[in-house]
Amino acid sequence: MKNNLAIGCLLAATMATSAFAATTVLNAAPTESWTVTNYYKKAVYDPKESKIGDVDDVLVDKSGKITGLVIGVGGFLGAGEKDVIVPFTAVKTAKKNDKWWLTLDETKDDLKGAPGFKYDRASTTWVPEKK
C-alpha cells in the first residue's frame, strides 16, 4: 500500500512538473506567428500609397490576440499628432523590397476626423481624448 502511494505521488509530481515545463518554454516558434516588429513603429499607407501615419502601439487582449493598432496621424515631428485606434483586421500587410508594407483603406483625412485617444499611464490603457 505504501509503495502504491509513493509511486502515485511520484507519478503525480512528475506529471505536474512536465506539464508546468511544457507551458513555460517553447521548443519552436508557433506556426503562423508573426513578430510585433512587423507592425510597431511601421508606416501605414492608404491605397494610393500616400503615408497616413505610423503605428505607435499594438493592442492585445487578455488571451493574447491582437485587437487593434494605435496610429499616429498628422502633425509634424510628433507635434500636433493625433492617435487613433483601428481594428487590427483593417490593416493589410505585404512585403515590398524586403520591408513590411502596411495599408489601410482609409485616408489621412478620414483618420484625422476619427476620435482621438491619449495613453493613460496610471491605467496603462488608451482612453478617449477629451476636447
Averaged pLDDT for residues 18-25: 61
What is the Cα–Cα distance from 54 to 124, expressed in whole angstroms?
20
For 30-74, the pLDDT digits (tens) are 888 888 888 889 999 998 989 999 999 999 999 989 999 999 998
Model confidence, pTM:
0.75
Q: H-helix or E-strand containing 57? A: strand 51-60
Per-residue model confidence (pLDDT) at position 96: 83
Q: Helix, strand, or coil here: 3?
A: helix
What's the sign of the alpha-carbon dihedral 106, 108, 110, 116? positive
DSSP at 67: E
Per-residue model confidence (pLDDT) at position 77: 65
State the pairing for strand pair 51-60/82-87.
unpaired
For 105-116, the pLDDT digits (tens) are 999 999 989 999
